[in-house]
Amino acid sequence: MFIRAYLRASTNGQDARRALEDLQTFAQERGLLIAAKYEENESGASLKRPELFRLLNESHPGDVLLIEQVDRLSRLNAEDWQTLKTTIAAKRVRVVALDLPTSWQLASQGDDLTQRMLEALNGMMLDMLAAIARKDYEDRRRRTAQGIAKAKLVEGKYRGRPENVEKNTAILSLLAAGNSWSEVVKATGASRSTLSRLVKAAHHKQNNLIA
């Protein structure tokens, strides 16, 4: 039996190794040794995780996939979670999570009946925590979208890419000098929709000044 630690963070700005010390302490307290570590910065909501699947490909029946929290393994939707579970089951790998005490005994050898009962119980708990992790992921995405919409419509805090005033002025100058739209698009790389927006804005500003 090999203990394989899986360390995942969502973005490159986060440290996937942050939980390593806790995983090592867990293993040492049980007289175990982490044989391999797999680290990556990928979303838990995606199955595109090369290191996780490298871990599973290199695993043997009875090996332990050790994680800090269930959400490090999955924030997947129901279909993708079922796909991952099927892969784990086919490899006969035991998932042990520090936030799932019912899984801890799977890190040690036991008689066949006890192990099968623990794996069944652990499977149900994993399903529950994976569903909670997915809901948390969806709730955070919804709150982020709501916050951006509010900032756009009410507070004006979310402005996206700042306007390139110098470039826009040059575009209007080229048009005013009699250059065709095609010539301006070719010279500046701006799209026709950008030219249309700038011309409309300039006309609106001129009409306000006349009024």
pLDDT in tens, 7-55: 998 876 667 778 899 999 999 999 999 999 999 999 999 999 999 999 9
Bridge partners (DSSP) listed for residue 5: 37, 66
Q: What's the pTM value of the predicted model, to 2 decimals?
A: 0.68
Residue 98 has pLDDT above 80, yes or no: yes
The answer to whether 10 is a known catalytic residue is: yes
Number of domains in the chain: 2
Tell me, what's the pLDDT at 12? 64
Structural domain containing residue 59: 3-137
Q: Are residues 52 and 103 in the same domain?
A: yes
Q: Are residues 178 and 119 in the same domain?
A: no
Q: Are residues 11 and 108 in the same domain?
A: yes
173 falls within a domain: yes
- Tell me how far apart the alpha carbons of residues 175 and 179 are, in angstroms, rounded to a whole number: 5
157 falls within a domain: no
Tell me, what's the pLDDT at 150? 78
> Considering the chain, what is the average pLDDT of its residues?
88
Q: Are residues 112 and 38 in the same domain?
A: yes
Q: What is the DSSP secondary structure assignment for residue 179, as one 8-state letter?
A: -
- Give the pLDDT mean for 149-166: 69
Q: Which of 10, 59, 103, 108 is catalytic?
A: 10
Kindly provide the residue ranges of all beta strands, DSSP E only, lying in 87-137, ordered along the sequence: 94-97
Q: Are residues 12 and 75 in the same domain?
A: yes
Q: Are residues 13 and 93 in the same domain?
A: yes
84 falls within a domain: yes
Residue 165 has pLDDT above 70, yes or no: yes
- Tell me how far apart the alpha carbons of residues 153 and 149 are, in angstroms, rounded to a whole number: 6
Q: Are residues 43 and 126 in the same domain?
A: yes
160 falls within a domain: no
3-state secondary structure of 173: helix
